[in-house]
């Protein structure tokens, strides 16, 4: 009798363990490889919140940059991913640390967005020629990790010095413009700039209805068609789970909520559209080269 009770008890424990295991949430953390004030953190928080809503056990891990992200990737961590772009790779390549995507870690394209040139709405911008008239120099808010000389082509075209004021994080760049510390802002075209009534983004690198294109205004500028190519880089994701992670990342862009709204308002081309068009790792490398990865 005691033996039978023991066997029943063991069976119940095993059954209980199976129930707990089957009810366990899938795990997928979001690593933020960029600053706390930029779009990397903003997008990371939105994705983590949406993953949680979709039934995932998901946490934000802020690494802040290549060195810490690489170190984190080498640890026995929970499955995770982070967004990495061609411009970030180009910046890292000029230092002592690079994150190189492989067929295993390249989960999916995540988005492609235009770059924009902006100024204050109160400047009543009509044309760059009018804006630059009688000026010998203008200041332009730029990213601290971008290569020097990005605006040499504009200087040559207009005969005006474009003095770069470097900021860490796109949020800080915008604040610099709003504070009147710079005349212009060169940044990713996102909801933050689009929705700000004090900012006029008068030209973009891509096709956005109602906006002038860099290629029309500055045909000889080497950055006239530059954009931000972002992909999802996997960390410790088992091979047999890669497709399911890829699928949920595509779903994050489609489900009504902050991510979809942000991408729609920001005129991003979402990753699932790019993926269906065959856009992948080779396009990332082309984008990194355009951002000066070889400089």
* CATH assignment, 29-113+227-290: 3.40.190.150
Query: What pLDDT score does 247 carry?
Result: 97
Contact 43, 31 (CB under 8 A): no
Query: What pLDDT score does 76 carry?
Result: 95
Contact 194, 265 (CB under 8 A): yes
| C-alpha to C-alpha distance for 250 and 100, rounded to whole angstroms | 22
Q: Which residues fall within 8 angstroms of residue 169, CB to CB, at 6 or more apart?
A: 34, 35, 36, 37, 38
Query: What pLDDT score does 143 carry?
Result: 87
| C-alpha to C-alpha distance for 11 and 203, rounded to whole angstroms | 68
Query: Around 49, how many Cα atoms within 13 Å sit in the side-chain half-sphere?
Result: 12
Query: What pLDDT score does 294 carry?
Result: 58
Architecture of domain 114-217: 3-Layer(aba) Sandwich (3.40)
Residue 7 has pLDDT above 80, yes or no: no
Query: What pLDDT score does 113 carry?
Result: 94
29-113+227-290 and 114-217 share one fold: yes
Q: Average pLDDT, stretch 70-96?
A: 94
Query: What pLDDT score does 295 carry?
Result: 56
Place of tokens 């009147």: 180
Average pLDDT of the chain is: 89
> What is the domain partition of the chain in residue ranges?
29-113+227-290, 114-217
Kindly report the number of other CB atoms within 10 A of residue 218's CB atom: 22
CA-to-CA separations, 89 to 62, 121, 182, 189, 244, in angstroms, rounded: 18, 33, 26, 19, 26
Q: Average pLDDT, stretch 119-126?
A: 94
| C-alpha to C-alpha distance for 201 and 125, rounded to whole angstroms | 10
Which of 37-41, 71-75, 76-80, 136-140 shows the lowest per-residue confidence on average (mean pLDDT)? 37-41
> Between 295 and 224, where is the model more confident?
224
């Amino acid at each position: 009798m005691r033996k039978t009770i023991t066997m029943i008890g063991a069976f119940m424990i095993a059954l209980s363990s199976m129930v707990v295991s089957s009810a366990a949430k899938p795990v997928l953390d979001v690593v933020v490889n960029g600053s706390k004030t930029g779009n990397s953190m903003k997008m990371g928080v939105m994705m983590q919140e949406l993953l949680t809503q979709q039934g995932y056990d998901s946490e934000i891990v802020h690494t802040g940059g290549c060195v810490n992200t690489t170190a984190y990737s080498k640890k026995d961590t929970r499955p995770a991913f982070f967004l990495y772009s061609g411009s970030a790779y180009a910046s890292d390549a000029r230092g002592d640390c690079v994150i190189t995507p492989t067929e295993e870690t390249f989960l999916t394209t995540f988005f492609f967005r235009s770059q924009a040139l902006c100024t204050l709405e109160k400047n009543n911008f009509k044309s760059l020629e009018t804006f630059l008239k009688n000026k010998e120099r203008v200041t332009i808010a730029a990213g601290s990790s971008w290569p020097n000389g990005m605006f040499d082509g504009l200087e040559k075209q207009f005969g005006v010095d474009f003095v770069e004021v470097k900021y860490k994080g796109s949020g800080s760049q915008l604040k610099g413009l709003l504070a009147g510390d710079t005349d212009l802002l060169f940044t990713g075209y996102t909801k933050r700039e689009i929705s700000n009534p004090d900012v006029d983004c008068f030209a973009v690198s891509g096709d956005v209805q109602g906006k002038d294109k860099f290629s029309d205004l500055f045909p000889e500028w080497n950055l006239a068609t530059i954009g931000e190519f972002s992909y999802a880089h996997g960390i410790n994701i088992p091979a047999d789970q890669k497709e399911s992670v890829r699928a949920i990342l595509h779903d994050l862009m489609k489900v009504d909520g902050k991510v979809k709204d942000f991408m729609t308002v920001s005129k991003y081309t979402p990753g699932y559209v790019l993926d269906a068009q065959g856009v992948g790792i080779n396009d990332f490398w082309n984008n990194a080269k355009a951002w000066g990865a070889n400089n």
